[in-house]
Amino acid sequence: MTGYVMFRKDRLGRRGGGVILYIKESIQAYEIKLEKEAECEEAIWCNLVTGKSTLTVGLVYRSPT
């Protein structure tokens, strides 16, 4: 999408699932890599920096089954 930065994490080894997060280009954002990331494959964590504040945003997909 034009004007946005994409953070994407696909489900490995299976169809469906995965997560994607779009952040407006005017917002400074960077992905946070977690030590226990393997335990939650379908999750993205990002820090958004706006002025003097930093906001941590998490996106998690939980399968209905």
Per-residue confidence band for 39, with pLDDT thresholds at 50, 70 and 90: low
- What is the predicted pLDDT for the residue at 27? 93
Residue 11 has pLDDT above 70, yes or no: yes
In a domain, 65, yes or no: no
In a domain, 50, yes or no: yes
In a domain, 48, yes or no: yes
Query: pTM for the full model?
Result: 0.76
Domain count, the chain: 1
Domain range enclosing 15: 4-60
> In b/e form, how buried is each residue of 1-32, taking b as 16+ CB within 10 angstroms?
eeeebebebeeeeeeeeebebebeeeeebeee
Which amino acid belongs to residue 8?
R
Task: Determine contact, residues 6/22, Cβ cutoff 8 Å.
Answer: yes
Token pair recorded at residue 23:
């952040």
In a domain, 32, yes or no: yes
- What is the predicted pLDDT for the residue at 54? 95
In a domain, 20, yes or no: yes
Percent of the chain with pLDDT over 90: 46
What mean pLDDT is predicted for residues 3-19?
Answer: 85
What is the average pLDDT score of the chain? 86
Which amino acid belongs to residue 42?
E
In a domain, 21, yes or no: yes
